[in-house]
Amino acid sequence: MNAPSRDPEAGAPDERRSRLLAGAATTLAELSDVLTPLADRFAEAGHELYLVGGSVRDAVLGRLGADLDFTTDARPEQVQGLLRGWVDALWDTGIEFGTVSAVKRGETPDAPEHQIEITTFRADAYDRVGRNPVVRFGDSLGGDLVRRDFTVNAMAVRLGRGGALEFTDPLGGMDALLEGVLDTPATPQESFADDPLRMLRAARFVSQLGFALAPRVRDAIADMANEITRITAERVQAELDKLMLGEHPLEGIDVMVDTGLAERVIPEIPAMKLEIDEHHQHKDVYRHSLTVLKQAIDLEDGDPDLVLRWAALLHDIGKPDTKRNEAGGGVSFHHHEVVGAKMTRKRMRALKYSKQMVDDVSQLVFLHLRFHGYGEGRWTDSAVRRYVTDAGPLLPRLNKLVRADCTTRNKRRAAALRASYDDLEQRIDAIAAKEDLARVRPDLDGNEIMRVLDLPPGPDVGRAWKYLKELRLDRGPLDYDDAVAELKAWWAAQH
């Protein structure tokens, strides 16, 4: 890869710059089976082709995945013609915005499948009312790069014939990357007025990359935060999830809260910053929630768990609405888990999350306090069964959430909580070894209930089924004769 077009002395040590560029060149060379034939096709047709945006940034950072973004002077119809017959799938969903998408599979079964997006040089104009631009094709790479969101995403690699690579960085993206700073190519006011979603993307990149915002970017977001209301809930949701799945979500959330963005998109989070006075002491709920999120992340097995992360962040959002100052200087938050579950459901629905996501996160919020009291020794086997049954498939996540919710600095109390939960998990395992706790069902099914009680299908069968399930939770499995006797006794008591 040739030297950057920008002065290599600017803003960062030569050695690190050279090392990162050499690493990027190695990474891109490993993709020569995709990049070289693609570049040759465009060159033979007399067109330029550049790898751009997050693809270049991630190649420099050594984290390039299977998604590849390109820009070109070729018009969308020409791009389609150049790709047709070479890619494995081709679609035109974004063609009105100048983007053609495709899939290119590797030559071997274990080779990665590359998602390719090629966008014609753009020189968009925005109406600054909605998000979508009035698409206007540009005629130069420079004009295309300056319209991008951040300078770290405004670097490009020219793809020449035979695998030639040339790095170009007219806007100082490498300097910003080396300094770990997010800045905009144009003024942030212009950039965010054109597309307010970029403000939320700034917080997302803080989470994903661990970068800091340039002061002028942070100030502009704080001044323009209300512009985010121009963006659809679906787009906001997508950015929030990417932020939550990043390596540094706490820092991304802090950016949202500190700049006022969170107040516009998920106000329940900054609302957890309860005022603490000298007479009524309690934990900083906001900071506590971030700590729980961090500890939940530490407990993840493998890939990031979006449901667990959202539940950890939102588990105490019911506290502001339930706060009561008690005599003697104490503070209570009675039933905050119930209120919090309702608030979670309402907010996630407003953000257009799926029903499953809404149900899972709100249920974890609702159940996160259920464990407290176990250490007092009052839980029967019936209580353990109900805990497992109510959690259902969320039980592994609930286990992690409850453990993460221990943020006390009192080492003795923290040790006692860990020991209590260890004991509960052992009891769950012991009961599960005897019973199928994952699928607690009545000892008699609906057909048998109708036969025993001589009932037709209807509400009475449902009520009998529910009674037998409660009995199963209280007493564990019954043999057939005992279950029939209990059912008949219950039925007789109803009449």
The closest alpha carbon to 177, from 302, 411, 20, 347, belongs to 20
* Mean pLDDT, residues 92-102: 89
**Has residue 462 got a pLDDT over 80?**
yes
> What predicted TM-score, i.e. pTM, was given to this entire model?
0.82
* Mean pLDDT, residues 200-209: 97
Q: How confident is the model at residue 197 (pLDDT cuts 50, 70, 90)?
A: very high
The gap from C-alpha 200 to its chain's centroid, in whole angstroms, comes to 13
Please tell me the predicted confidence (pLDDT) of residue 453: 83
From first CA to last CA, the distance across the chain in angstroms is 87
- Kindly give, in sequence order, each residue whose CB lies less than 8 Å from that of residue 353, ignoring residues fewer than 6 positions away: 237, 361
Please tell me the predicted confidence (pLDDT) of residue 468: 82
Tokens of 353: 């999350």
pLDDT in tens, 391-423: 888 999 999 999 999 888 888 888 888 888 888
Residue 144 CB neighbours (<10 A): 25
Determine what percent of the chain is predicted with pLDDT higher than 70. 90
Please tell me the predicted confidence (pLDDT) of residue 6: 43
* Mean pLDDT, residues 339-346: 96
**Has residue 52 got a pLDDT over 50?**
yes
* Mean pLDDT, residues 477-488: 80
* Mean pLDDT, residues 197-213: 97
Q: Which residue has the higher pLDDT, 374 or 258?
A: 258
Are 122 and 136 spatial neighbours (Cβ–Cβ below 8 Å)?
yes
Determine what percent of the chain is predicted with pLDDT higher than 90. 59
Tokens of 437: 């706790």
Please tell me the predicted confidence (pLDDT) of residue 3: 43
- Kindly give, in sequence order, each residue whose CB lies less than 8 Å from that of residue 262, ignoring residues fewer than 6 positions away: 253, 256, 269, 270
pLDDT in tens, 247-270: 999 999 999 999 999 999 999 999
Query: What Å distances lie between residue 317 and 5, 237, 311, 354, 362, CA to CA?
Result: 50, 18, 10, 20, 11
The closest alpha carbon to 405, from 344, 331, 316, 318, belongs to 316
Q: How confident is the model at residue 375 (pLDDT cuts 50, 70, 90)?
A: low
Average pLDDT, the chain: 87
Angle 435-421-299 from CA coordinates, rounded to 5°: 100
Tokens of 156: 């490009």
231 DSSP 8-state letter: S
- C-alpha 437/C-alpha 146 separation (Å) is 59
Please tell me the predicted confidence (pLDDT) of residue 427: 85
